Amino acid sequence: MENLGNQIFSSYQRNPDLFDEIFDKDGSVKDVYKTLFDLYGGHSIQDYVRLNEKAKSSFFNQGITFQVYGEKEAKEKIFPFDLFPRIIDTNEWDIIEQGSIQRSRALNLFLWDIYHDKKILKQGIVPLELISSSDNYLHQMIGVNPPGGIYNHISGIDVIKHTDGDYYVLEDNIRCPSGVSYVICNRTALKRALFGVFNHYQTHTVTNYAENLLDLLETTKPKGVDIPNTVVITPGMYNSAFYEHSYLAKTMGVELVEGRDLFVENDFVYMKTIQGPERVDVIYRRIDDQFIDPLEFRPDSALGVPGLFAAYKKGNVTLANAPGTGVADDKAVYTYMPEIIKYYLDEKPIIKNVHTYHCSRPDELKYVLEHIPELVIKPVDEAGGYGISIGNRLSKDEIEKVKKQISEAPRKYVAQPIMSLSVHPTYIDQNESFEQRHIDLRTFTVLGKDREFVLKGGLTRVALKKGNLIVNSSQGGGSKDTWVLKE
């Protein structure tokens, strides 16, 4: 136990093996956090508890909730939000921003290639079977030219800081990455609760996301369209991310549609309005590939629009992200990112990749099977943190079970050294005190036809369970406001 002379941090315990974002090894507060630390220290625990409650009710009243279904009535819960913000200084941010753009661009070129000439596969830089065996490779997309040449308009790149103090990319999400609305809500909530702290820091805004998104999406409008009509398509109000869909539509000032609001005639897409049909040119879709068009993909999908894919193939409508992007955010493709970046851009990765062992390669499989306690084992095609085994948490029996699973289907697994996510002081309700919790950062990068945008901030996700490394909100993670400082 260490007393830091500051009431709300007085019981903060530092584990020296972890990288603490605000305290140096010797226990002193890092420069950039000093002012913040003193400002928060000015509160008593009681003050802080009250502020925390207020922030919660702000989320509740804004209806930023997700539903838990009970017997009679669905109960609503808010996503846990921590009032102590994360700060990223200009220099570090430059790495993240440049690195995110680099990866997004490389992934876009990679997608174009594997759906056209397949050069990278023919030259053996990325193994052919990696792509051909992937469920997310859509043969329907072969030879299709997406409007503006963009596949992954929106990329959510998850970045962590390891114990060595360097940033690493943990994964690329280029299907329908979500979470951006929480970035803005977190900022709003923090401003409502503790507006005074913003007087001491020059922080970049995060509210410019929607306007940039709309601008950049519209640079990829179909040919021959002058002023594009853009919409957001959602699976509907019972989807867990519905708040985000409505938030984005509202802040972009465009219609929020469901599949049943659209129809296709002569390969053009229309929406049904009170004044009759109106043409739609750009669709930001928040529906998975398999559901967008029952004629082309899953025939039982009620969420999609029959004929949409044909209209897309003709170049009459833009889909963002393009169908078939999922093949490139596969965890197995991730491991080839340094090669992919080198191949298309002739650059070195600006943000590091975590070293990865491919269980599909016999020698690496052997290494993995022998070193399970030191590794994280991941299925290559699961999203949301499911199916991950962390080696040093497994009992002997469990290790044997994992070994068996891997040996049975080596292609399905990759392994990485256990990365230690950095920790950030996080207020824990039950203990009424700050404690170290692991965090990551999801960044949001938007690619347009000739320019790109990275949201200066991103979503810092917190694993609220002590020692837990999995930060996804579906697994009980919380989040923090994230400040990118101006120079």
Binding status of residue 63 toward other proteins by CB under 8 A: yes
Determine the interface stretch with other proteins among 12-20, 240-248, 331-339, 418-426 (rule: CB under 8 A). Answer: 240-248
Sole binder of other proteins in the list 91, 199, 274, 397 (CB under 8 A) = 274
Spatial contact of 136 and 330, defined as CB atoms under 8 Å apart: yes
Please report whether residue 272 would count as binding other proteins according to CB under 8 A. Answer: yes
CB of 442 to other proteins, least distance (A): 23
Task: Count Cα atoms within 13 angstroms, Cβ side, for 58.
Answer: 20
Among the listed ranges 96-104, 256-264, 364-372, 428-436, the one in contact with other proteins (CB under 8 A) is 256-264
The torsion angles phi and psi of 226, rounded to 5 degrees, stand at -85, -70
**Which member of 34, 60, 302, 366 binds other proteins (CB under 8 A)?**
60
Burial string for 432-447 (b: 16+ CB within 10 Å, else e) reads ebbbbbbbbbbbbbbb
Q: How far apart are CA 386 and CA 160, in angstroms?
A: 18
What the block records as the tokens of 321 is 């992200």
Size of residue set near other proteins by CB under 8 A: 26
**From candidates 34, 50, 192, 260, binder to other proteins by CB under 8 A:** 260
Q: With respect to other proteins, which residue has the nearer C-beta, 181 or 436?
A: 181
| Helices marked H in 42-135 | 45-61, 90-114, 119-122, 128-132
Residue 418, both tokens: 């256990």
Looking at the Cβ atoms of 60 and 386, the one nearer to other proteins is 60
Select from 128, 142, 237, 302 the one that contacts other proteins (CB under 8 A): 237
* Look-up of token digits 């945008």: 453
Q: Is 242 in the site for other proteins (CB under 8 A)?
A: yes
* 246 lines the binding site for other proteins (CB under 8 A): yes
Which position among 73, 226, 346, 363 is part of the footprint of other proteins (CB under 8 A)? 73
Stretch that binds other proteins, among 6-14, 268-276, 296-304, 475-483 (CB under 8 A): 268-276
Distance separating alpha carbons of residues 52 and 186, to the nearest angstrom: 12
Query: Minimum distance from CB of 257 to other proteins (Å)?
Result: 6
What tokens were used for 155? Answer: 């990329």
Nearer to other proteins, 243 or 336 (CB): 243
Helix (H) or strand (E) holding 199: none
Determine, following the binding rule CB under 8 A, whether residue 68 of this chain makes contact with other proteins: no
CA distances 49 to 2, 46, 53, 429, Å, are: 22, 5, 6, 8
Distance CA 176, CA 285 (A): 8
403: tokens are 């070994």
N residues, the chain: 487
Tell me whether residue 27 or residue 253 sits nearer to other proteins (CB atom): 253
Q: How far is the CB of 287 from other proteins (least distance, A)?
A: 16
DSSP state of 63: T
By the rule CB under 8 A, 119 interacts with other proteins = no
Buried b (16+ CB within 10 A) or exposed e, 251-275: bbebbbbbbebbbbeeebbbbeeee
Binding of other proteins by 257 (CB under 8 A): yes
Taking the complex as a whole, the smallest distance from the CB of residue 259 to other proteins amounts, in Å, to: 11
- Regarding 239 and contact with other proteins (CB under 8 A), the answer is no
Considering the rule CB under 8 A, would residue 271 count as an interface residue with other proteins?
A: yes
Q: Residues in the site for other proteins, rule: CB under 8 A?
A: 60-63, 72-73, 232, 236-237, 242-243, 246-247, 249-250, 254-258, 260-261, 271-274
